Amino acid sequence: MARRIFEEEHEMFRDSVRSFLKNEIAPHSERWREQGIVDREAFRKAGEQGLLLMWADEEYGGAGMQDFRYEQIFIEENCRYGDVGFFGWLHSRLVGPYIGELGTDEQKARWLPDCVSGEKILAVAITEPGAGSDVAALKTRAEDKGDHFLLNGSKTYISNGINADLVVVVARTDPDKRHGLSLFVVERGMDGFERGRNLKKLGLKSQDTAELFFNNVKLPKENLLGELHRGFYHTMHFLAEERLIVAVEFLANAEAAFAVTMDFVQERKAFGQTVGDFQNTRFKMADLRTDLDVAQAYVDHCVMAHNEGKLSAEDAAKAKLYTSELQGRVTDECLQLHGGAGYMDEYPISRMYADARISRIYAGTSEIMREIIARSIGLDPRGKR
């Protein structure tokens, strides 16, 4: 499908990104998968190519590119030619903007250059053992001690958790208010900041996902990010972009599954013909191609709306819901078309199938997305109480 949202400079950028990923990321993918973590060097190499925090101003080493299409291209190409566990997008577009938009001039000067270069890796810590999608139920606390804050609590399922040098932590600062949360930047090496296990997962084997513990971590006042007690609202502000980011990722992963299956059904033979010659295969692939193209049109529409500052939370939720469910459906159908080979680890589709399962959970579960969409169309039970 011709995608009309891209111009010549975007396609030139795509070519350079693809070359970088094939040469610097893909060759290490199997080793990263086995060791359960991406080498830090991957971030530094991406930084050298100007691929991290592309939106950052030139004074911090960035390119000042606000056009989300460049990030979209990087995500799409990484899913196809890089490594899905290389969460450069999380570093650049999910966590980086917390500092870029909420940080003071001093904070931006202090942290952004090393994030742009890849010397420092970013993570955001929201989820806790007893609180996931319900951000307002978080228990990690930061007490104001006059000249510093004292942070106590724990977080889990934190992406980039082992590699991260700077972690944006959501903590409760007003125990009397449900939304009395604030954001803090916790830095590698701070006393009391400890990492737990690099958690073993069903999929995304090369992505380091960790437990984090904060035991009387003494945080300088200048590590408060944004306004005190406004952390809940700051976090909500970034959710639309986060869901657009993952929608791009999920759809790109589904496209990758489709591509490897196209190759497989045209090569594998059964009963004297290729698997692709059977009507069932042709019809299933036709259905998947249609679903992918329709989803792509909507995601591209959301990208352009986001570039114009007009992407709504509801539309972002629709994009996240549809693409995550589609990724699951596409990888399942594609594995089925591989037959027994699809269950073997040596075939990419088996890994794609495992990788896809988390998509309906992180960045807000499908159930939460449906709740947001239902309320947007007037089906809100809270209004009947």
Within a 10 A sphere around the Cβ of 137, how many other Cβ atoms?
12
Query: Strand, coil or helix: what is 157?
Result: strand
CA separation for the pair 234, 243 (Å, rounded): 15
Query: Strand, coil or helix: what is 178?
Result: coil
**Vertex 62: Cα angle to 195 and 189 (nearest 5):** 20
- Residue 305 has phi, psi (to 5 degrees) of -65, -40
Helical pair 366-376 and 313-338, crossing angle rounded to 10 deg: 140
Question: What is the token pair recorded at 61?
Answer: 């080493």
Helical pair 348-356 and 231-267, crossing angle rounded to 10 deg: 150
Task: Kindly name the residue from 77, 128, 211, 242 that is annotated as catalytic.
Answer: 242
**Is 8 a catalytic site residue?**
no
Chain length of the chain: 385
Please give the radius of gyration of the chain, using alpha carbons only, rounded to the nearest integer: 21
Query: Strand, coil or helix: what is 249?
Result: helix
**Vertex 97: Cα angle to 42 and 11 (nearest 5):** 60
Q: E-strand spans in the chain?
A: 122-125, 141-144, 148-159, 166-172, 181-187, 193-198, 209-220, 224-225, 269-270, 273-274
Residue 177 in contact with residue 166, Cβ under 8 Å? no
CA quadruple 319, 320, 326, 332: dihedral, nearest 10: 170
Give me the amino acid identity at 254: A
Positions marked catalytic: 242
